[in-house]
Amino acid sequence: MNSYSTISISSCKDDKDASAVAHDPNQPIEVTDFTPKSGGGGNTRMVIYGANFGTDPSIISVKIGGKEAIVVSSKGNSLYCLTPSLCFEGSVEVKIGKQSSKAQAKYEYEPQLVVSTLCGYLDEYGKKLFKIY
In a domain, 5, yes or no: no
In a domain, 89, yes or no: yes
Whole-prediction pTM value?
Answer: 0.72
Per-residue burial over 2-25, b if 16 or more Cβ lie within 10 Å, else e, is eeeeeeeeeeeeeeeeeeeeebee
Q: Look at the chain and report how many structural domains it folds into.
A: 1
CATH of the domain at 67: 2.60.40.10
Reported as half-sphere exposure (CB side, CA atoms, 13 A), residue 84 has a value of 17
Domain range for 43: 30-110
**Per-residue pLDDT tens for 34-79?**
999 998 778 889 999 999 999 999 999 999 999 999 999 999 999 9
Binned at pLDDT 50, 70 and 90, residue 87 comes out as confident
Cα–chain center distance at 44: 7
In a domain, 41, yes or no: yes
Rounded to 10 degrees, what is the CA torsion of 85, 86, 89, 94?
-30
Binned at pLDDT 50, 70 and 90, residue 109 comes out as confident
